[in-house]
């Protein structure tokens, strides 16, 4: 496999020159001699993987197949994505309600009051994440919690509708009482639309309260409940990732410690997950949580690489004498993945539908912590995590954000964002790396200037850089491009590997380079 890569290398370099400007000039002929008698070292089997971060609506409104936005009414703008629907003389009024909540973790619900329903329709609509893509012939699973006030309506009609009001699918739920109860129905689409909406309308006048209104396509990737969007899951699977780093990124740190990612809040019943503010500018439902990531890795046949918050955020640091709960979070996360069903968190994993342990062998201690003046703060926290984890899970490989001096490092995480010229000129960056140092994980890299929204020039420069990683894979164990996803309606970072909207998706040239290398990884190097 390596022969073909070296054979096209002069053409790749010529391509980088030609794409810059001016006429196409034929590259000088080159000859390559391959020494079959003296093979070099093996190429790391985990070299090419992916890095998922909740950025650009990569999860909520992306890979996570939930179609309803602000499903539990906990967004800062509590009624965002919800609006009144009324036809004829019927009217509706919406208000947030905190009386008798569904649970303490999601204290707000929607109070919908209707009148005049005998002369028309009144209700509430959700527009989803910039429109709901409904496909003709497909079915969608609606679930919601509801209760009525007094003699309020006991039956709700649910429809999927096009922007012009055409009904694409219809269902109903009955038996709404005065106590919270979960209801569900199937919506089978007779027609399709890329920008549909969900409408919920009571059949009689009065007040009804709604919470955790959720809509999923019946066909999720791998058929999982609370699962992944099928086309995006397939694009990820086509990358053949050896590992998946999750859930971030800066998402793990948070802008403040109060908004840090805490995995315990992301497991169990989605209706009882509180969600949290995401520093990338929107609220995360945490519906795509720790368990779902582990399940995704298993379905992909990929190694999970879980990033734990080490008590450091963009705008705060946990004092060392208050760090123990954060260290315990790391130990409990490992027990959730690896522990027997007789353990506390192993039992929780089993209750969540996976009695067999997950194969978690990598954990990263923090994200981009320890750079510059924060190195001493990171080093003492890394040491605390290292000692606690290795005492119980000595075989778990720990990734440090930066080189530290007070404890061993199984891997150290390098990040690079730069120009095409920098990447093409950095092919030999690791050629003289100290072979006695820690193994390296190039956790984030991408051309981020002179690349439009992802172009061939960037992809070729990244390919050059990746050949240098491959050649040095005696010390480089893992590498992952970043970011993985972008919803075109919320591009916080540019460029990205996979581009999508509610209905369509495609890979940029960088995506196809990642796919090419990962699906054609050589077994060993030849001089």
- How wide is the angle at C-alpha 124 spanned by C-alphas 121 and 130, nearest 5°? 125
DSSP 8-state code for residue 89: T
* CA dihedral for 215, 218, 222, 224, sign (positive or negative): positive
The one-character DSSP state at 318 is: -
Tokens in use for 361?
A: 């062998």
Question: Tokens standing for 274?
Answer: 């509180």
Work out the angle between the directed axes of helices 324-338 and 375-392 (0-180°, nearest 10): 40
| Residues taking part in catalysis | 368
Q: Are 490 and 61 in contact (CB under 8 A)?
A: yes
Phi-psi region of 194 (alpha: psi -120 to 50; beta: other; left: phi over 0): alpha
The pair of structure tokens assigned to 39 is 């093979």
CA distances from 442 to 158, 376, 430 (A): 48, 22, 11
Query: How many angstroms separate the Cα of 103 from the Cα of each of 19, 72, 180, 211, 423?
Result: 58, 11, 10, 10, 51
> How far are the Cα atoms of 8, 206, 353, 429 from residue 238, in angstroms, in the given order?
23, 51, 26, 29
Could you tell me which of 354, 349, 380 has the C-alpha nearest to residue 366?
380
Distance (Å, whole) CA 522 – CA 66:
38
């Amino acid at each position: 496999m390596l022969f073909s890569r070296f054979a096209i290398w002069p053409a790749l370099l010529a391509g980088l020159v030609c794409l810059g400007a001016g006429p196409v000039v034929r590259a000088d002929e080159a000859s390559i001699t391959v020494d079959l008698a003296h093979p070099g070292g093996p190429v790391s089997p985990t070299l090419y993987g992916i890095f998922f971060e909740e950025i650009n609506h990569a999860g909520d409104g992306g890979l996570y197949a939930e179609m309803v936005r602000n499903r539990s009414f906990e967004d800062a703008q509590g009624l965002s994505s919800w609006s009144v629907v009324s036809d004829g003389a019927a009217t509706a009024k919406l208000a947030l309600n905190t009386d008798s909540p569904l649970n303490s973790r999601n204290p707000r619900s929607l109070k919908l009051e209707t009148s005049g329903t005998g002369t028309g329709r009144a209700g509430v609509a959700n527009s989803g994440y910039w429109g709901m893509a409904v496909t003709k012939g497909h079915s969608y699973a609606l679930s919601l919690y509801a209760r009525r006030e007094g003699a309020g309506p006991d039956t709700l009609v649910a429809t999927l509708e096009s922007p012009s009001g055409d009904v694409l699918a219809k269902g109903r739920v009955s038996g709404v009482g005065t106590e919270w109860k979960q209801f569900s129905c199937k919506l089978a689409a007779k027609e399709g639309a890329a920008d549909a909406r969900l409408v919920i309308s009571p059949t009689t006048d009065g007040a009804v309260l709604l919470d955790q209104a959720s809509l999923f396509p019946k066909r999720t990737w791998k058929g999982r409940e609370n699962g992944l969007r099928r086309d995006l899951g397939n694009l990820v699977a086509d990358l053949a990732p050896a590992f998946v780093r999750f859930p971030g990124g800066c998402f793990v740190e948070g802008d403040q410690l109060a908004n840090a990612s805490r995995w315990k809040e992301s497991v169990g019943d989605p209706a009882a997950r509180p969600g949290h503010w995401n520093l990338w500018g929107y609220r995360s439902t945490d519906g795509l949580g720790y368990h779902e990531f582990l399940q995704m890795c298993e379905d992909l046949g990929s190694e999970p690489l879980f990033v734990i918050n080490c008590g450091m955020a963009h705008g705060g640091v946990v004092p060392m004498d208050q760090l123990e709960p954060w260290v315990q979070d790391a130990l409990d996360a490992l027990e959730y993945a690896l522990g027997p069903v007789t353990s506390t968190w192993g039992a929780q994993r089993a209750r969540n539908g996976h009695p067999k342990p997950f194969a978690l062998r990598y954990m990263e201690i923090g994200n981009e912590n320890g750079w510059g003046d924060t190195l001493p703060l990171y080093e003492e926290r890394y040491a605390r995590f290292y000692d606690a984890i290795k005492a119980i899970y000595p075989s778990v490989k720990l990734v440090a954000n930066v080189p530290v001096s007070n404890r061993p490092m199984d891997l150290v995480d390098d990040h690079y964002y730069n120009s095409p010229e920098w990447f093409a000129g950095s092919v030999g960056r690791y050629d003289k790396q100290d072979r006695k140092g820690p193994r390296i994980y190039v956790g984030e890299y991408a051309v981020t200037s002179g690349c439009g929204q992802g172009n061939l020039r960037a992809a070729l420069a990244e390919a050059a850089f990746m050949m240098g990683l491959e050649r040095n894979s005696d010390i480089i164990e893992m590498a992952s491009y970043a970011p993985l996803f972008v919803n075109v309606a919320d591009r916080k970072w540019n460029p990205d590997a996979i581009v999508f909207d509610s209905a369509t998706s495609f890979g940029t040239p960088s995506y196809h380079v990642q796919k090419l290398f990962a699906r054609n990884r050589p077994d060993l190097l030849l001089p």
